[in-house]
Chain A
Amino acid sequence: MSGATLTESPYRLREFHPFESDGTQFVYLVPSGAIFALNEIGREIIDCVREEDRTREEMVATLGRRGYAERDIELSLTELEQSEVIFNSGENFVEKPQMPARSFPLQRIVLHVTNQCNLSCGYCYEYSGDKISQTEGKPKHMDSSVAQAAIDMLIKESAERPSVHVTFFGGETLLNFSLLRQAVDYAKTKTAEAGKTVEFSLTTNATLLNEQIVDFLAEHRVGITVSIDGDRELNDSMRVFHDGRGSYDVIVPKIKMLLARHRTNSIGARVTLTAGVSQVRRIYQHLTQEVGFKAVGFSPATASPDRLYHIGVEKMSSILGGFEDLAWEYRDYAVAGRQHGFTNVNDTLKELHSGISKAYPCGAGLGLLGVGTAGDLSLCHRFVDSPVGKMGHLQQGGVDHAARNNFLETHHLGARYDCHTCWARPVCAGGCYHEAFVHYGQTSAANLHYCDWIRGWNDLCLRIYGEINLRNPSFLNRFEEN
C-alpha cells in the first residue's frame, strides 16, 4: 500500500467495547482484552473518527481547532493506532493467523471416582433426562489401579509443568473415600518422584462428611466445593434423597463442622439455579450468614428448554437482577478493601485483570481431561463415559492424541463463526461444550441462547473493574499471578 493512500485514507474504529464507570470513559479492546481509561484527547479522537471520515491531516486540523497541540495529536494518533483502537483504512489489514494448540501439556485430571450418588437431585445431568453418559457395564466405583494409571498418565502428559492438579468428582465422591485416600497418597509420592507438586480438589454433597474425613482433607489441603442450593425450602426443592427427603437438615451441621475444622484451603458453596430456585440474594445471605461460607458461586442448571426446571427468559432476567445487586455489593466491599464472597464476580474480575483472550472457552481437552470409573478418558467430567468427547482409554493406549487434536482444531474460536463479531469473545469464546451439546446436539455450537446474558454480565464486571481500579487499585493486587 503506498504512502499516499495511507495519508489520504480516513481512520476507522477497530473492535472494542466502550464503557463508562465513575464518570470515566474506558475501552475494552477486542481481541487483545486490554482495558484502558481514555484521557480527554483519546476520547476526542474516537469521537472524531465516529463523527465522519477524516484522514490523518484532517484529524490534526480538526483537533487543532479544538485546542490540542499538534505534537499531542500526532503522538496520540500513533498510540491509538498501535494499540489497535483505530486504524487507517488505507492500511493493508492482515488478520494475524492463529494456530490451534497442539500437544498442550496436561495440567488437571478429573477423576470420576464413582458414578453412584446417594441423592437424587432433580436437575442432575448425570441422571436426568439430559443424561449423556452411558455407564452400563462400567464399574460403579473406580478402583485404585485405574486411579494410579490416571495419575501416572497425568504426570507423563504434563511434560514440563511444575505442578499438576487432581480433582475428585462423581457421583458423590465420598461414597468412594477409600479410593480418594489412596489416590492422594499415590499422587503425592509419584509427583514428588517426578519433581512436581500436586494439588487436590473435591466436589461433594456433604451428606457423608465426618470428622475423620474432614481431617484427612484438611491435612492434604484439598480444596472443597459443596453443592447446596440455599435455605431448607430452596435446597430441598431439588436436592433430595432417593426417598424424596430433603438433604438440608443432614448437610448443614456437617458443613459447619467442615468450615470449622478445615482451614488449609478454600471451601466454597456451589448453587445450581433452576426455575424454582432463583432467589440470588436470599440464597447468598443464607449461605454466608447462616451457614458460614466465605465463597458462594452460582450457576444456572444445564437443561434442555422443555424441562420443567429450565430457566426461561423472564426468570433469567430476574436472576440477572439478583446477580447485579450482589455484584454492586462486591464493588462496595472492594472499594473499602474487603473481600466479598460472590465468586462469580471474583472469577470474572480475575480474568479481566489478566486481560485473557481465550481461543477455547475452558480447559476441557486442552489442559484438562476427565477419567471414567473404567479408565475411559473424556473431554471433561461432564462427558465422562459418554460416546461424545472421547479422548482415549487409560489401559488402551492412553490419551488419543489424534482425537484430541481433532477436537482442538474443530472447536477453536476461529471455527466458531457466530462469535466473530462479539466483543465478549476474549472471555467467553463460545461457552460450555456440554451446555452446547444439550441445547444444540453438538459440542462445537456457540451457546447463542445466553449471548446477551454473557455480554451483560461482562459489561457489568467491566464497569465494576473500572471503578475498583479508580478508587482502590491495590485491591486488584490479589489477582496478580506469581
Chain B
Amino acid sequence: MLWFLLRTGWKKLWTLFFISVISFAVIHLAPGEPSQIDPMNPRFTPQQLERYRKAFDLDQPLHIQYLRFYQRLFTGELRSFKDNQPVLPKIVERVWNSLWLFLAGTILVWCAAFPLGITTAIRRNSVLDKVTTVVVFALISIPGFYLAYLLIIFVVQTFHVDVIGLRTFGHQGRNLVWSFMDRTWHLVLPSVLGATAGIAILSRYVRAQMLEVITSDYVRTARAKGLDEDTVLYKHALRNGLLPFVTMLGLIVPGLVGGSVIIETIFAWPGIGRLGYEAILSRDYPIVITLNFVAALLTLVGTLLSDLLYMVVDPRIRLEGVE
C-alpha cells in the first residue's frame, strides 16, 4: 500500500517535471530570434518581440529562463501583455465561470453514459444496441460548431428565447428567482453541447468494460451457482463495470480548457476556453502558455485522484505493487 503510494508519487513528480519543461518550451516556438521578424507579417513587430524577450528572459541561458519563468509565474510577476494584470489571478477568475459549465456537463455525461453503456452491453446486438452505436458515433463525428449552430437555430426559432451568454441581457434588476432560472437556462445548451462528446466516448468505454466483465469467468461462475440474472448483473458484474468512472475522472479534466474553446466562443461564455482563444488572437503569450501549463497540471491532479481511487475500489491494483 505504502509502496504503491510512493511509486505513484514518484511517477507523478517526473510527469510534473516534464509538463513544466514542455509548457516552457512552447515559448521557444514563438518568434524568438530577430531573423524571424518578417516585415510582411504584422504579428512579428519589433516591439512585440522586445516585450516577449523581456517577459521570458530570452537573453539568459536556457535553465535560467526555465527557473525564472516559474518564479515569475508564481510570484505574480508574469503579467498579461494585454492589460498588464498578473496571469494567475486572471485565469482563476475565469475558471470559476467555466466550472459551472464543466460541472453541469460532467453530471450530464455521467447520468447518460453509464445507463447507456451498461444497457447496450447487456443487450448486445439488439436493435437498441445498434441504434445507440450509430447515434453515439454520430455525436462524436459531427463537428461541434456545426451541431451548435443547428441547435441554436432550432431552439431560438422554436422557443424564441435568448441562449447566448451567461444571462439575458438587460434584465439585471429582476428578482433572485428569475435571475437564477435565467442563468440555469443559459447553462443548458452549452453544457448539453459540451457533454455530447463525453457521453459518446464514456458510454462506449463503459460498454466495452461491461462486455469484458459479462464474459469473464467469475460472472459465469455466478450464473452456474444458479443466481438469478438480476443478482449476477447488478451485484456481481456492475461493480467492475463501474471502473471507467474512476478512469475517466482524470481524463475529463483537460476538457475544462481544450473542449470548451469552441463552445465558449460560440456562446460568448466568459470562461477559461474563451480566455485562451482571445489570448491567442491577441498574441497574449503569457496567458496562452500558462493556460497550457495549468490545464496539464489539473489533469495530473485528476489522474492522481483516479489512481488513489483505484487503489480504494480495485484491490487488484494494490496487489500489483506487492509482487
Co-complex (A, B) = no
Which residues in B have some Cβ–Cβ distance to A below 8 Å? none
